[in-house]
Structure 1
Amino acid sequence: MKHDHGPDDPPKDFWHSRHAVGLLVIGAVAGYFLLTEHSAHVLGALPYLLFLACPLMHLFMHHGHRHAKNDKQGTDDKESSHEPH
């Protein structure tokens, strides 16, 4: 059986495939057994995970501050120069 896909057929997205469903099921089963069999270890690591989450949230959630700083400098430049930007 040969399947010819034309040039107009977009490639199938991974998250809409059977492999993604299998990966999610395996991850859910592994997470369940991790929590039930090793709950003391997981609960003991929660404070450390909270401390690790802080810098990650800072990196990923404060990315807009650079743009505000550049916009502020841009308005100062616009006021001092007469060139349109």
Structure 2
Amino acid sequence: MIRDRKWTLFAASLAVIVAFFILREHWQHALGLAPYLLLLACPLMHLLHGHGGDRHGDHRIKTDDIT
């Protein structure tokens, strides 16, 4: 189990280093794609999380509580 975590940490570190060097060389291209990535993030968030996320309780006001 600890060995798996070490490999995961190694892979994540390697991915960050590679991303840094790629962005360093192609920063203007990445900034040109930023608005499109933002627009793409909205539908992806709705697909993955839906509206409202986790609902642990219903906090709406009931009509019985209004006096």
Instruction: Bin the TM-score by the shorter chain.
Output: 0.5 to 0.7
- Aligned-residue sequence identity (percent) comes to 41
Residue 31 (str. 1) matches residue 19 (str. 2): yes
Q: CA RMSD in A?
A: 1.9
Structure of larger gyration radius? 1
- 1:48 equivalent to 2:14? Answer no
CA distance in 1, matches of 2:21, 2:15: 10
* Structure 1 unmatched ranges of 5 or more: 1-11, 65-85
| Residue identity in the other structure for 1:48 | Y
**Runs of 4+ deviating beyond 6 Å:** none
CA distance in 2, matches of 1:63, 1:53: 16
Gaps of 5+ in 2: 54-67
Matched residue, 2:51 = 62
How many residues are treated as equivalent by the alignment?
Answer: 51
Deviation of 1:63 after TM superposition, in Å, equals 6.4
Per-residue displacement from partner, 1:22-53 (whole Å, max 9, x unpaired)?
10111111111122111011101001101101
- Name the CA distance, whole Å, in 2 between partners of 1:45 and 1:31: 15
Quote how far apart the aligned CAs of 1:61 are: 3.6
